[in-house]
């Protein structure tokens, strides 16, 4: 989203940047000076709009197709629940069918892997997010 650090004068980012209209959709890189900071809200809106158009295009090419996303959560952390609700809302806004799959805090690594395998084999699921951290009573590796 930014120029490479070598192209920044003195390698610093300083002044807040709020000219959202200057952000370009194509590369999401605005016409801005090196000391400006991107507006996360403006960039996020542009990314969502671009994705919404891409999903609509996919649906036109294959009538009846609806991209599917599964978000797998182990446990019930409040912060994870908040992040997942934001992901579900964003997915709905762009036309993706998103499902929240919850496993209990007592789930084992084997059970989590079995669930991931099942989701991978589901033809309605085209993407999978495993919400970290895994809030499990059992030890699990997140580097599988």
Per DSSP bridges, beta strands 36-37 and 15-16 are parallel
Q: For residue 89, which of 69, 75, 108 has the smallest C-alpha distance?
A: 69
- Residue 16 φ/ψ region, left for φ over 0, alpha for ψ in the -120 to 50 degree band, beta for the rest: beta
What is d(CA 19, CA 55) in angstroms, rounded to the nearest whole number?
28
87 classed as catalytic: yes
* Catalytic residue, candidates 87, 89, 102, 105: 87
Q: Which residues are catalytic?
A: 87
């Amino acid at each position: 989203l930014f120029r490479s650090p070598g192209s920044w004068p003195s390698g610093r980012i300083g002044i807040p940047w709020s000219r959202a209209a200057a952000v370009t959709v194509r590369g999401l890189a605005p016409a801005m000076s090196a000391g400006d900071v991107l507006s996360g809200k403006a960039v996020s809106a542009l990314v969502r709009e671009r994705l919404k158009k891409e999903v609509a295009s996919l649906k036109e090419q294959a009538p009846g197709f609806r991209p599917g996303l599964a978000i797998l959560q182990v446990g019930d952390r409040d912060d994870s629940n908040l992040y997942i609700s934001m992901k579900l809302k964003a997915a709905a806004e762009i036309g993706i069918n998103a499902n929240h799959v919850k496993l209990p805090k007592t789930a084992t690594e084997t059970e989590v892997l079995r669930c991931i395998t099942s989701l991978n084999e589901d033809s309605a699921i085209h993407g999978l997010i495993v919400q970290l951290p895994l809030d499990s009573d059992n030890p699990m590796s997140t580097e599988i």
